[in-house]
């Protein structure tokens, strides 16, 4: 199984919206609505932001939203804030003995 | 409040076995709602799922690591553990334990330990 493809970096100014992509294949993202997104500040534990493509845990701001089209998933952050600056990883269920595959991560910079 | 803490040697010699334990407090491993997993992050790289285990002992592993990985659960101690054999420098990473949703937060890792750095070097 190959890692999901994420852009290395995205950036935006405070208050703006950004969208980052996560591209997989018909064997993972395209076949299952089981994509999750994680926010990771270096040195800290990763934090679940989105699960099952678009569901948001209770501890996550509604500024975060997820979607999927075909083999690609997306994470949108609206009203960017300085504390949103972090690395973001997507993850998908990949069938075949319940495997999981992560993306390479996207570094979000808030300008 | 759930807490998860990884423990084990920070330095392992090449060709030897890496062994880590995750101790769970504030909640029971003996639950049908979750699996318990291991994820690692090599320096400067992304996250890599290693494998997950259910309270019953049912396991599933990353196919690329399957031949070298064993996960075990010890409900009496509320712990689960990772064994990775024949390690090389490529196994140097921060190792995280995490709770993986089964009936809720399906196939997502909703709670993570702080991680522990393991270096493979002679």
Q: For residue range B27-86, what is the model confidence (pLDDT) as tens digits?
A: 999 999 999 999 999 999 999 999 999 999 999 999 999 999 999 999 999 999 999 999
For residue B50, the model assigns a pLDDT of 97
**Contact at CB, A100 and B62, closer than 8 angstroms:** yes
**Distance of CA B117 to CAs A98, A108, A111, B30, B39, Å?**
27, 24, 31, 27, 12
Opening angle at CA A75, ends A68 and A85, nearest 5: 170
Q: Which residue has the tokens 């890599």?
A: B48
A36/B49 touch (CB, cutoff 8 Å), yes or no: no
Contact A102 B39 (CB under 8 A): yes
What residues 53-92 of chain A have any CB closer than 8 A to a CB of chain B?
57, 89, 91
pLDDT at A2: 75
> How many helices and strands (H and E) does chain B possess?
0, 11
Which tokens belong to A33? Answer: 């609505």
Yes or no, beta carbons of B49 and A91 under 8 Å apart: yes
What is the Cα Rg of chain B in Å? 14
Tell me which residue has tokens 């996250």: B47
Most B CBs within 10 A among A38, A45, A56, A90, hence the mutation to make, goes to: A45
The dihedral formed by the CA atoms of B33, B64, A95 and B24, expressed in degrees to the nearest 10: 10
pLDDT in tens, A66-106: 999 999 999 999 999 999 999 999 999 998 776 899 999 99
């Amino acid at each position: 199984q190959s890692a999901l493809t994420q852009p290395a970096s995205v950036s935006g100014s405070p208050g703006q919206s950004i969208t980052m992509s996560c591209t997989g294949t018909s064997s993972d993202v395209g076949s299952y609505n089981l994509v999750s997104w994680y926010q990771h500040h270096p040195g800290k534990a990763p934090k679940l932001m989105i699960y099952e493509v678009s569901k948001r845990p209770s501890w996550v701001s509604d500024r975060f939203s997820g979607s999927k089209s075909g083999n690609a998933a997306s994470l949108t952050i609206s009203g960017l804030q300085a504390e949103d600056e972090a690395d973001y990883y997507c993850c998908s269920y990949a069938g075949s003995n319940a495997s999981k595959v992560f993306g390479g991560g996207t570094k979000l910079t808030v300008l | 409040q759930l807490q998860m803490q990884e423990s084990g040697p920070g330095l392992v010699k090449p060709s030897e076995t890496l062994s880590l334990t995750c101790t769970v407090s504030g909640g029971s491993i003996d639950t049908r709602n979750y699996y318990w997993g291991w994820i690692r992050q090599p320096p400067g790289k992304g996250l890599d799922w290693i494998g997950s285990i259910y309270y019953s002992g049912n396991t599933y592993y990353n196919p690329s690591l399957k031949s070298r990985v064993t996960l075990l659960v010890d409900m009496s101690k509320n712990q689960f553990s990772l064994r990775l054999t024949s390690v090389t420098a490529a196994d140097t990473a921060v190792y995280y334990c995490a709770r993986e949703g089964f009936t809720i937060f399906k196939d997502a890792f909703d709670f993570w330990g702080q991680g522990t750095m393991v270096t493979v070097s002679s």
